[in-house]
Structure 1
Amino acid sequence: MGNNLQATGELSPGHDLNGYIQTVNSIPVLSVEEERELGTRLRENGDISAARRLVMSHLRFVVHIARSYSGYGLPQADLVQEGNVGLMKAVKRFDPTQGVRLVSFAVHWIKAEIHEYVLRNWRIVKVATTKAQRKLFFNLRSAKKRLAWLNNNEVDAIAKDLDVKPHVVREMEGRLSSTDAGFDGFANDDDDQAYLAPANYLEDMRANPAQQLEDEDYEQDATRRLSDAMAKLDDRARDILQQRWLSDSKATLHELADTYGVSAERIRQLEKSAMKKVRDMMGEESLAFAS
Structure 2
Amino acid sequence: MAATSVALTPTSSAAVAALPAWSSTSLTLPPLGHLDAYISAVNRIPMLSAEEERECARRWQREHDLEAAGKLVLSHLRLVVAISRQYLGYGLPQADLIQEGNVGLMKAVKRFDPEQGVRLVSYAVHWIKAEIHEFILRNWRMVKIATTKAQRKLFFNLRALKRGLKADASDEDAVRERLSEAEIEAVARELNVRREDVIEMETRMAGSDVVLDPLPSDDGEEVHAPIAYLADQRTEPTAVLEARERERLSSEGIEHALAQLDERSRRIVTARWLQVNDDGTGGATLHELAAEFGVSAERIRQIEAAALKKLRKALEAYA
TM-score by length of 2: 0.60
Please list the CA deviations of residues 126-163 of structure 1 after superposition, one character each: whole Å capped at 9, or x if unmatched: 11112222112212222121244111221122123223
* Alignment correspondent of 1:2: 19
Aligned mates of 1:72, 1:142 — CA distance in 2:
11
Q: CA offset at residue 189 of structure 1?
A: 7.3
What is the aligned counterpart of 2:227 among 199, 209, 219?
A: 199
- Pairwise CA RMSD of aligned residues? 2.6
Q: Residue 140 and residue 15 in structure 1: after superposition, are their counterparts in 2 closer, same or farther (change >3 A)? A: same
What is the aligned counterpart of 1:159 among 160, 164, 188?
A: 188
Q: Which amino acid aligns with 1:60?
A: R
Q: Residue 190 and residue 114 in structure 1: after superposition, are their counterparts in 2 closer, same or farther (change >3 A)? A: farther
Contact 2:178–2:206 (CA<8 Å) still a contact in 1? no
Greater Rg, structure 1 or structure 2?
Answer: 2
Q: Are 2:90 and 1:62 aligned?
A: no
- Mapping for residues 1-291 of structure 1, pairs under 5 Å: 2-3=19-20, 5=22, 8-12=26-30, 14-144=32-162, 145-146=165-166, 147=174, 148-188=177-217, 194-195=223-224, 197-204=225-232, 210=240
Q: Which amino acid aligns with 1:160?
A: R
Please list the CA deviations of residues 220-251 of structure 1 after superposition, one character each: whole Å capped at 9, or x if unmatched: xxxxxxxxxxxxxxxxxxxxxxxxxxxxxxxx
Q: CA offset at residue 61 of structure 1?
A: 0.3
Bigger CA drift: 55-64 or 184-193?
A: 184-193
Q: CA offset at residue 203 of structure 1?
A: 4.5
Contact 2:216–2:222 (CA<8 Å) still a contact in 1? no
Aligned mates of 2:196, 2:31 — CA distance in 1:
40
Q: Which amino acid aligns with 1:48?
A: L
Q: Residue 193 and residue 187 in structure 1: after superposition, are their counterparts in 2 closer, same or farther (change >3 A)? A: closer
Q: CA offset at residue 190 of structure 1?
A: 6.4
Structure 1: state its 5+ residue gaps: 215-291
Aligned mates of 2:49, 2:107 — CA distance in 1:
21
* Alignment correspondent of 1:262: none
Contact 1:14–1:78 (CA<8 Å) still a contact in 2? no
Please list the CA deviations of residues 68-116 of structure 1 after superposition, one character each: whole Å capped at 9, or x if unmatched: 1111111111110110000000001111110000000000000111111
Runs of 4+ in 1 over 6 A off after TM superposition: 189-193, 205-209
Q: Which amino acid aligns with 2:223?
A: A
Q: Which amino acid aligns with 1:108?
A: H
Bigger CA drift: 105-114 or 133-142?
A: 133-142
Aligned mates of 1:9, 1:122 — CA distance in 2:
30
Aligned mates of 1:120, 1:83 — CA distance in 2:
14
* Alignment correspondent of 2:316: none
Q: CA offset at residue 122 of structure 1?
A: 1.1
Q: Residue 12 and residue 110 in structure 1: after superposition, are their counterparts in 2 closer, same or farther (change >3 A)? A: farther
Contact 1:132–1:164 (CA<8 Å) still a contact in 2? no
Structure 2: state its 5+ residue gaps: 1-17, 167-173, 245-319
**Aligned residue pairs, count:** 212
Q: Classify the secondary structure of the residue corresponding to 2:28.
A: coil
Q: Classify the secondary structure of the residue corresponding to 1:134.
A: helix
Aligned mates of 1:123, 1:89 — CA distance in 2:
26
Contact 1:155–1:170 (CA<8 Å) still a contact in 2? yes
Aligned identity (percent) is 55
Aligned mates of 1:105, 1:157 — CA distance in 2:
32
Q: Residue 126 and residue 94 in structure 1: after superposition, are their counterparts in 2 closer, same or farther (change >3 A)? A: same
Q: Residue 40 and residue 57 in structure 1: after superposition, are their counterparts in 2 closer, same or farther (change >3 A)? A: same
Contact 1:13–1:20 (CA<8 Å) still a contact in 2? no
